[in-house]
Amino acid sequence: MMSRVKQAVAAAVLAAAWGGSAAAGCGGAPDACKVDGGEYHIVMPDPAVAPGPVPVVMFLHGYGGSGRSVLRNQDMVEGLTQRGYAVIAPEGRRRDGSGPQSWGFGPFDAGRDEGAFFAAVLADAAKQFGTSKAQTVLAGFSAGAFMVHYLACRDPEAFAAYAPVSGAFWRPQPEGCSGPVRLLQVHGWRDEVVPLEGRILGGGRFEQGDVFAALELWRDANSCSSHAPDRAWSANGLMRRRWDCGPEADIGLVLFDGGHRVPKGWAGLMADWFETRPALR
């Protein structure tokens, strides 16, 4: 891992090169970082904001998107880096080698081992940029959110927490998940691309799952004693629920009045949730 001095120098170079705005690339280099299985982009916070091992939000793009496009979401990227998080944006793989970029999950799980790829990205970022190996969040939008759910289900300890936006499981959803997780589900009330109840695609060949059915699966995985939330409230135009089922078994649901998008202010919302550990029972 880099020394503290090297970390500070690297971050200062990045800040000067970007002029305060996010840019795709690998540190000060314009091209993406390369690891076994793929590529990723990274934006580091000011070292004065995050002087130690820097916590990570790895954000997965939607279907047809890219890691570069993730970093164009200035509200999200600056919202996270100003809180001291590094933002890592991996590149998905092309369907059938030439199609739009996406991720391997559920009915589309073929080709690259996404879990191994994400682990390689985390290890490389820690080595090159001094990012934390423990304080890590896997987040994603749409197809990226589906990927978040499936990885959390299969390997809950791969990341410290999971934060999907506008996506859950596909039908048939898994019968069970491997263990408890901390997971924050954010979804637009008026989402018509990935409706809360799911929808059928491909002439009946594929079916997006129901978000509430996914949350029931997570309550079972977290050994929650009740399906009813421990707290339900509304604030700042958001409808929220939270299930506190243990120190590492925390589920949050946030519904916003909007469609298929990452809502403005998501970065602060997610960071507040991640940094507020559920009460010990």
Q: Find the DSSP H helices in the chain.
A: 4-18, 67-70, 74-81, 114-129, 143-154, 211-221, 266-275
pLDDT value of position 49: 81
Q: Is the peptide bond before 247 cis (omega within 30 degrees of 0)?
A: no
N-to-C CA span, the chain: 36
pLDDT in tens, 53-104: 999 999 999 999 999 999 999 999 999 999 999 999 999 998 777 789 999 9
Is 259 part of any domain?
yes
The pLDDT-based confidence of 23 (bands split at 50, 70, 90) is: low
pLDDT score recorded for residue 61: 98
As to burial, measured by CB atoms within 10 angstroms (0-12 exposed, 13-18 middle, 19+ buried), residue 213 is middle
- What is the reported pTM? 0.89
Q: Are strands 101-102 and 38-43 parallel, antiparallel or unpaired?
A: unpaired
Q: What is the DSSP secondary structure assignment for residue 277, as one 8-state letter?
A: P
Burial class, 193, CB count within 10 angstroms (exposed 0-12 / middle 13-18 / buried 19+): middle
Residue 59 C-beta-side C-alpha neighbours within 13 Å: 30
User: What is the CA angle 57-225-255, rounded to 5?
Assistant: 45
The tens digit of pLDDT for each residue in 203-226 reads 999 999 999 999 999 999 999 999
CATH number for the domain harbouring residue 95: 3.40.50.1820
DSSP-derived secondary structure for 67-99: HHHHTT-HHHHHHHHTTT-EEEEE--EEGGGTS
Q: Does residue 107 contact residue 26 with C-beta atoms inside 8 Å?
A: no
Q: What are phi and psi of 148, to 5 degrees?
A: -60, -45
Tokens (6 digits) for 241: 């629920």
Confidence check: pLDDT of 169 > 80: yes
**Does residue 178 sit within a domain?**
yes
Query: Where does the pLDDT of residue 15 fall: very low under 50, low under 70, confident under 90, or very high at 90 and above?
Result: very low
Residue 74 covered by a domain: yes
Look at residue 280 and tell me if it is in a domain.
no
Q: Which domain holds residue 181?
A: 4-275
- Asked if residue 281 belongs to a domain, the reply is no
Is residue 204 situated within a structural domain? yes
Domains: count for the chain? 1
